[in-house]
Amino acid sequence: MRILAIRGRNLTSLDGTFELDLEHGPLGESGLFAIAGPTGAGKSTLLDALCVALYNKTPRLGGQGGVEVGRGEGAMRGVPANDPRNLLRDGAGEGWAEVDFAGREGRRWRSRWTARRARGRADGKLQAVELVLEEIGGARAGGTLTETLAAIERELGLDFDQFRRAVLLAQGDFAAFLRAKAADRASLLEQMTGTTIYGELSKRAWERTALEQKALDELRARLSDAEPADDAARAALEEAARAA
């Protein structure tokens, strides 16, 4: 999995349309770069755009619970604090986030998340989000929001928790990764390094060993049921064999 581009429009600190091309130009040629700037410049908004375009979630809003932030009859009335639609910039009737990425098999995909207010008006009521996944130059994948999220997760090979710990590592999440259970870390690292196949080989080897051990135990049981002949009977059988 590789993120190729991040785009968006009218999201929190970033007014209008923005684009971050991670495949071409200076960023595409750099092995390492920093997102820097003063408070409110939009650093976290870029990461929010990345997350909502892929998972309809963002770590920045994940820990605030479901308390409603809007009161009265305003455009934000009844919207929980952890709702990703809160990323829509004040005064904007529509906003979106878009991510291009290369999936597990190298196929190139574009995922686009859109939030709108009724009639495109800044004072309109927030509408349900739209999430679309399509292969670049190809067909659309998924249908409903749930189906589209499942298709994105399948192509990325990471669920939201794995993505934010392995790719995003937002503030405080590195410590969360270190504190995760050993099995969770092992599963995540297998996904990151592509060594899942070795876990599958180990499982198959253990299953084959169990089958062979069972067959061996059955043979030993059959041998234990066969009592050896006494000396006289053995001598008679050998004599019959020679005569034959």
Element (H, E) at 101: strand 94-102
- What is the reported pLDDT for 53? 95
The pLDDT tens digits for 188-225 are 677 666 666 777 888 899 999 999 999 999 998 888 88
**Interval 159-168 mean pLDDT:** 80
Kindly state the tokens that stand for 198: 């070795």
CB 192 within 8 A of CB 168: no
Place of tokens 């009335």: 77
Closest CA to 89 of 14, 157, 36, 31: 14
CA distances from 244 to 230, 232, 240 (A): 21, 18, 6
Closest CA to 127 of 97, 64, 71, 83: 83
- Residue with the bigger pLDDT between 193 and 105: it is 105
Backbone angles phi, psi at 220, to 5 degrees: -65, -35
Burial of 158 (0-12, 13-18, 19+ CB in 10 A): buried
Strand partners of residue 198: none
Strands of 2-11's sheet, edge to edge? 14-21, 2-11, 94-102, 108-116, 130-135, 140-141
- Predicted TM-score (pTM) above 0.75: no
Residues 6 or more apart whose CB falls under 8 angstroms from that of 191 comprise: 157, 158, 162, 166
CA dihedral (20, 23, 29, 33) in degrees, to 10, reads 40
**Interval 51-71 mean pLDDT:** 72
The pLDDT tens digits for 3-32 are 999 999 999 989 999 999 998 888 888 878
Helix (H, G, I), strand (E, B) or coil at 108: strand
Kindly state the tokens that stand for 41: 């410049």
